[in-house]
Amino acid sequence: MAKVDKIIEELKAQLGDKVKSIVSDRKIHKVEVDPSAIVEVAAFIKERGFDHVKGVTGVDLVALTKPENAIEVMYHAGSYTDDELVGSVLTISVKVPRDKPETQSLVGVWKSAEYHERETFEMLGVVFKGHPDLRRLLLPEWWSDTPPLRKDYRPPGRE
């Protein structure tokens, strides 16, 4: 059993029902967790060798075949320092409601999440509670339209 699989098993044993689903492929592993457990999960996997965030992404789930009124936020964690984990990506996923998309910031666990969270904030409207500098990164400060990666965003002049 690979080290990443052991970490996921330990995580499931420790958190129980707070782990909602696990999807594993050879190198990419995704663990969906309850939003209340995100900081605990991040700290847990960091202690076991996942030392940085490769990226933070988000998906508006409202336009799926089976739509959900949620935005899924995913942290893609990797390792520079543990030879057994170097080729693996462990994704922590949470689903937050579209009408109040908030989750805890993981900048306190991984400093490398800072700019990725800022981008997800402005592109999808997700508020990262506890973020040290949650302001626009790419869009102008005066932007007040729907976040551009939301499925209901319509670019001006293209209606």
CATH number at residue 64: 3.30.460.80
Mean pLDDT, rounded, for 15-21 = 93
- In a domain, residue 20? The reply is yes
Mean pLDDT, rounded, for 94-101 = 96
Domain extent at residue 80: 3-99
- In a domain, residue 107? The reply is no
Report pTM. Answer: 0.93
- In a domain, residue 106? The reply is no
Burial class (CB in 10 A: 0-12, 13-18, 19+), 138: exposed
pLDDT above 90 coverage of the chain, percent:
83
- In a domain, residue 116? The reply is no
Structural domains of the chain, count: 1
- In a domain, residue 110? The reply is no
What digits encode the pLDDT tens for the residues 24-80?
877 789 999 999 999 999 999 999 999 999 999 999 999 888 889 999 999 999 999
Residue 103: per-residue pLDDT: 98
From residue 153, how far is each of 44, 45, 52, 144 by CA, in Å? 36, 35, 32, 12
- In a domain, residue 140? The reply is no
Residue 158: per-residue pLDDT: 67
- In a domain, residue 71? The reply is yes
What crossing angle do the helices spanning 3-15 and 38-47 adopt, rounded to 10°?
Answer: 140
- In a domain, residue 76? The reply is yes
Mean pLDDT, rounded, for 111-134 = 97
Q: Is the pLDDT of residue 159 over 80?
A: no
